[in-house]
Amino acid sequence: MFSELLKLKANSLEKVIPIAGDCALPDLGLSEADRQVLTEEVQVVVHSAATVNFVEPLSSALSINTRATRLLVQLAKQMGRLEAFVHVSTAFSNCPVEHIRECFYPELLSCSADKVLALQDQLSCELIDQMTPALLGKFPNTYTYTKALAEQVLQREAADLPICIFRPGMILPSYKEPFKGCIDNLYGPIAISYGIIAGVVRVMPIRKEARSNVVPVDYCVNLVLSCAWQTAVATAQRRVPAQDPTIYNFAPSAQNPITWGQYRSSLYKYKRIYPVNQMIWFPFVTAPTSWWSLKLFLVFYHHLPGFLIDMCLRLRGQKPRMKRIYNKVHKGIKTLRPFTFPNWTFEMRNSDRLLQCMSPQDRLKYEFDINGIDWKQYMSITIMGVRVYLLKEELTEESLQSAKKLYKRFLILNYLVHFIACCIPVAILWWVYVKF
């Protein structure tokens, strides 16, 4: 991650001083000595710590995503030199709304943040987790719900701070910096893309015409730094505190959108250019839109092949693994499904206004103009990044040629299997017709 930086200045990381902390603990798990250092020296806070697990138990998600935000706001109020506080939320913190503006939506919450945190103080973790469906209301998971609660905490308790909120879409590999395709995690669409490229995932329910709302991680970083600067400048110029923290939505715009259909088409195109040697079958994906077709495709494309592979592994004296893998895959599909069908649109006036007030030099240095992204080129970079940084396969000619040969072999086998699968029911129907 820091290789390019270290080439420019070998001792750069000596300026970084980590301190121990834990968002799940009281007082953020900070020692008194570290707390004093923070209150005396910090000028800019970027609060990006969170659990991004969609199925995190509510009691845990509340502690990490909501209560920790309140504790950090309380700590920030003691920072005498504070100039800017950037809270990293999510574009889907208000996902029950189809068109999401750069404002707060307290009406979406079934219970205020104050009351929910008070309930957590009074009840056991087990009881809080049992209350999850009632508390979530229209929110699809504990992640989006607790991030919405955190935003309400900021609206109510951080008005006197130089603060703003950054709401990014689904974060994918880097577009340009520190190098193309940089990625180190398996979250959201990347996890599914990883499985598709490896020939494991063959079913992904999507609405092809819906916007995918994906954004490059380096553009997110640049916007975080830029809105921190803008917050500091605006606070210094303002004579009275702002009524609400400024919110910066960040997702593909109406002028330059990318749909799930385009995302899927890009996977089909670039998996041929960057095939992997670790694929276990020909990489393809179907996109069922109904629940019954999803179940049917999962049986034929996941459960049945998984059963056959596990049976072969058992015969060879090896431990079966595909059932366990597909259980994880299906959980991932289930948690991602609420984000692949709605057609959200996002207001981005504050983000656009920030871009316009920056100098040409700063726009180039802190690039985040979403309208300037070539999505076809970016998807090529994304697939390359998955191959290199997640599957750990270098872009050498030898590696690529080996993978392309495997790709062609699996392509032929895939056609053969589909042909046989189509012939079987035809043969049965013909036999029934002749018999009777």
**Total residues belonging to the chain:** 436
pLDDT digits (tens, 9 = 90+) for 49-88: 999 999 999 999 999 999 999 999 999 999 999 999 999 9
Mean pLDDT of 208-226: 95
Q: What DSSP string runs through 36-100? A: HHHHHH--EEEE------TT--HHHHIIIIIIHHHHHHHHHTT-TT--EEEEE--TTTTTTSSEE
Cis peptide upstream of residue 275 (ω within 30 degrees of 0): no
Grouping H, G, I as helix, E, B as strand and the rest as coil, residue 1 is coil
- Is the pLDDT score of 167 beyond 90? yes
Mean pLDDT of 417-425: 86
Cα–Cα nearest to 278, from 399, 193, 161: 399
pLDDT score for 430: 78
pLDDT score for 93: 96
At position 90, the amino acid (one-letter code) is T
Give the span between the Cα atoms of 263 and 208, in whole angstroms: 9
Q: How many CB atoms lie within 10 A of CB 160?
A: 10
With bands split at pLDDT 50, 70 and 90, how would you rate the model's confidence at 351? very high
Grouping H, G, I as helix, E, B as strand and the rest as coil, residue 362 is helix
- Helix, strand, coil share (%) of the chain residues, nearest 5: 55, 10, 35
Q: How many CB atoms lie within 10 A of CB 43?
A: 12
pLDDT score for 358: 95
| Burial class, 49, CB count within 10 angstroms (exposed 0-12 / middle 13-18 / buried 19+) | middle
Give the span between the Cα atoms of 168 and 224, in whole angstroms: 10
Contacts of 252 (CB under 8 A, 6+ apart): 169, 211, 212, 213, 214, 215, 258, 370, 373, 375
Handedness of CA 122, 128, 134, 139 (dihedral sign): positive
Question: Whole-angstrom distance between the N-terminal and C-terminal Cα of the chain?
Answer: 69
- Is the pLDDT score of 267 beyond 90? no
Contacts of 182 (CB under 8 A, 6+ apart): 1, 173, 174, 217, 218, 385, 389
pLDDT score for 242: 66
| Burial class, 33, CB count within 10 angstroms (exposed 0-12 / middle 13-18 / buried 19+) | exposed
pLDDT score for 335: 87
With bands split at pLDDT 50, 70 and 90, how would you rate the model's confidence at 187? confident
Q: How many CB atoms lie within 10 A of CB 227?
A: 25
- Is the pLDDT score of 230 beyond 90? yes
Lowest mean pLDDT among 181-195, 208-222, 231-245, 403-417: 231-245
DSSP secondary-structure letter at 210?
A: S
